[in-house]
Amino acid sequence: MTATKNEDTRGTAEVIDTSRASIARVYDAFLGGKNNYAIDRAVMEDVLKIAPQASLVAKGLRRWLIRVTRYLANQGVDQFLDCGAGLPTEENTHQTAQRYNPDAVVVYVDKDPVVAVHGRALLEENSSTHFLQADLTRPSEVLANPIVTDHLDLDRPIALIQCATLHHIDDDQQPAQIMADYIEALPSGSYVALTHWWDPQDGSEGSELAKGIERSFRESSMGTGRYRGRGEIETMLKGLDLLDPGLVELDQWWPEGPLAKPNSLVETLILGAVGRKP
């Protein structure tokens, strides 16, 4: 595919490392996708030994993202910055946003070279959808990149999406500070949508399961993944007014309807919130 003037061509010639699992490809495996390798499926299979319902978490994240995007688009938000976008799946942020607000512009950000290839080929399907290959842990670089500044008006409200990203940022990278930098840079009236793996830290079965899954991810070739306490997650939302019902389990954030059956334990170990910058 020939790059347009608006595309970041860095990384297009990168050699894909199949000796180490990729966050994006592991999520793709959990969703039943085909853009993953044996090394990625091995990570998934080890987690499934601990939590057989773990694939439902990935699906729940996608449902949450669609609900949030639809809500924001219906509120008139027409600019979305989706960080750690991952591989394309059945319903993507731009498809939902543009269905409910045809004027919506979406910029996806991801550093994974496999995501970059698919992002450019599949997500750049209209003039209002764009892809940036960049590291979301560097907010100033992301927000100053021409792909962002050419397509998003940083003086008007933006919806920043961090869905299933921050729990893959280790403590030494200071995820709360990364979010503080993003939030500070956003104009008033912007929204932040965030999900994060949650450890109740109460000695319960859920807390033990969280620790076991975290250990499985961190000891794998992927090497990342942190279940954090509620307080740690709340620090990533400082400076925002949280929309009702606040920081809650994903299916408690404005569900489509009553649950057909109770969530499995692993599905309760992830929280999500949407906040508005005053």
Could you give the percent of the chain with pLDDT greater than 70?
A: 92
The CATH number of whichever domain residue 251 belongs to comes to: 3.40.50.150
1 lies in a domain? no
Q: Which phi and psi angles does 234 have, rounded to 5°?
A: -60, -30
Residue matched to tokens 């299979």: 45
pLDDT at 9 over 60: no
Q: In whole angstroms, what is the distance from residue 7 CA to residue 26 CA?
A: 26
Three-point CA angle 27, 235, 186, nearest 5° = 80
Q: Which phi and psi angles does 69 have, rounded to 5°?
A: -60, -45
17 lies in a domain? no
Query: Predicted confidence band at 125 (pLDDT cuts at 50, 70, 90)?
Result: low
4 lies in a domain? no
103 lies in a domain? yes
Q: What is the DSSP string of 49-80?
A: HH-TTTHHHHHHHHHHHHHHHHHHHHTT--EE
The structural domain count of the chain equals: 1
276 sits in the region (left: phi over 0; alpha: psi -120 to 50; else beta) called: beta
List all residues 6 or more positions away from 234 whose beta carbon is below 8 Å from its beta carbon.
Answer: 247
pLDDT value for 4: 32
149 lies in a domain? yes
Domain span at 155: 23-276
Mean predicted confidence (pLDDT) in 161-190:
98
β-sheet bridge partners, residue 161: 82, 193
pLDDT value for 113: 87
3 lies in a domain? no
pLDDT value for 87: 87
Using one digit for the tens of pLDDT, what is the confidence trace for 38-47?
A: 999 999 999 9
pLDDT value for 86: 87
pLDDT at 164 over 70: yes
Residue matched to tokens 């394309």: 88
263 lies in a domain? yes
Could you give the percent of the chain with pLDDT greater than 90?
A: 82
93 sits in which H/E element? helix 93-100
104 lies in a domain? yes
What tokens were used for 64? 């949450």
Mean pLDDT computed over every residue of the chain = 92
Using one digit for the tens of pLDDT, what is the confidence trace for 70-86?
A: 999 999 999 999 999 88
DSSP 8-state code for residue 119: I
pLDDT at 8 over 60: no
Distances (CA, A) of 87 to 154, 161, 263: 26, 15, 25
pLDDT value for 115: 85
Three-point CA angle 133, 139, 141, nearest 5° = 60
